[in-house]
Structure 1
Amino acid sequence: MHKRALAALLILFVAVAALAPLHVFSIETPRNGRLLYLRTVSPDDRFTLSFIHSVENCPVRDHIKIDSGYRMVTYATEFWSSRTGLPYAPFGDETFTDEGDHFRIGNMNRIIPEIYQWVDKRYANRLVFGDGKEIALPDLAGDTLLKMSVTRVRLAQYAGMKLNLSIR
């Protein structure tokens, strides 16, 4: 009887744990919904999305954090030119600074529900997380449109998604 009670308790623990919620940052191809990358996120996690601007051919870096509501929020952007299609002025409480070789808009608070970005090896699209993990975005699926988002999933879903990624 003791073994049955332990087994039942273990099964109950695993079932409850599998239902535990997690928030994940994912990258997928919107054309077919293929998952390319997945990691858990917590409030105040940060990452930088960088690329070469297709018109001005200058670097751009968007600094993004996860807020307490698990939303992506742009808190700063850096750019090496201020012409066609690039920022030119701060808005509201934002700050504009000349860093010598580039410009920076800080004190931003722009909520981004999802990021859609066309990636191309020519534009050096990169994602760098606060822990140092760096991803060359075109290496995930070639030159294509990518969708980045933060969603809530259950631990069991996350495990299945990670398993699916690992067997490709």
Structure 2
Amino acid sequence: DSMRASVKLALFGLLILAAAATVYALWPVQVVQLESDGQVVHRILLPGGGEIHLDYQHSVVRAPVKEVFHLAGSDSFVLVRTEHGAFGAGLPTEHFGEFRQDGDRYVIGGINRLLPEIPLRVSAGSEQKLTVPDSSEVALLDLVEAGSLVIITARKAMRWRLFFR
């Protein structure tokens, strides 16, 4: 009789565990989704404040550039600032936002441009990568070939989709 009770208790525990795992897997989470040619090529969990960085090398001066985006709602981004490792003719000097020097970086802040998606043509020599601070980083050339168009969007997705890109 105690054996039967132990089996029932174990089965009940497994049922609770399976239910919790199902809820966890189906619970919607905020993700950054990268698509190319209509196919999802990568998803990254976007925790907390919802900030992403697009880092690359400027094609002419080979200086680092960082574009910083914040999540706007659950399906758009806001370009907050850009950071450049060089300054001069042909480099960004936007007339909007605030331009300042921060150490060896030139920062254009206060841009606040709303973007429902971030379209990006991947280049072989620019070392483009998408970073979610304190979480994840992906080199775009690891996902698609040079010359491919990648569309970066913010989405809600079920957590299990993060395991099956």
Per-residue CA deviation, residues 63-112 of structure 1 (Å, 9 max, x unaligned), is 11223x1231111101223433x421342xx2210235331011231111
Residue identity opposite 2:119 in structure 1: Y
Does the 8 Å CA contact 1:23/1:40 hold for their aligned counterparts? yes
3-state DSSP of counterpart to 1:121: coil
* Aligned-residue offset at 1:46: 1.4
Greater alpha carbon shift after TM alignment, 124-133 vs 47-56: 47-56
In structure 2, the CA distance between the partners of 1:137 and 1:13, relative to structure 1 (3 Å rule), is: closer
1:28 aligns with 2:28: no
Moved over 4 A (4+): 9-20
The structure with the largest alpha-carbon Rg is 2
3-state DSSP of counterpart to 1:123: coil
User: Which consecutive unaligned segments of at least 5 residues does structure 2 have?
Assistant: 1-7
Give me the whole-angstrom Cα distance separating, in 2, the residues matched to 1:40 and 1:55: 33
1:150 aligns with 2:154: yes
Give me the whole-angstrom Cα distance separating, in 1, the residues matched to 2:48 and 2:152: 17
- What is the RMSD of the two structures over their aligned residues, measured on CA atoms? 3.2
Does the 8 Å CA contact 1:56/1:83 hold for their aligned counterparts? no
Superposition pairs of residues 1-168 of structure 1, within 5 angstroms: 20-29=27-36, 31-33=37-39, 35-42=40-47, 44-67=49-72, 69-70=73-74, 71-79=76-84, 80-84=86-90, 86-91=91-96, 94-143=97-146, 144-154=148-158, 159=160, 161-165=161-165
* Aligned-residue offset at 1:61: 0.9
Give me the whole-angstrom Cα distance separating, in 2, the residues matched to 1:78 and 1:25: 21
What is the TM-score normalised by the length of structure 2?
0.72
In structure 2, the CA distance between the partners of 1:38 and 1:103, relative to structure 1 (3 Å rule), is: same
Give me the whole-angstrom Cα distance separating, in 2, the residues matched to 1:130 and 1:10: 32
Corresponding pairs, count = 155
In structure 2, the CA distance between the partners of 1:17 and 1:135, relative to structure 1 (3 Å rule), is: closer
User: Which consecutive unaligned segments of at least 5 residues does structure 1 have?
Assistant: none
What is the TM-score normalised by the length of structure 1?
0.71
3-state DSSP of counterpart to 1:48: strand
* Aligned-residue offset at 1:22: 3.1
Give me the whole-angstrom Cα distance separating, in 2, the residues matched to 1:32 and 1:40: 20
Aligned identity (percent) is: 27
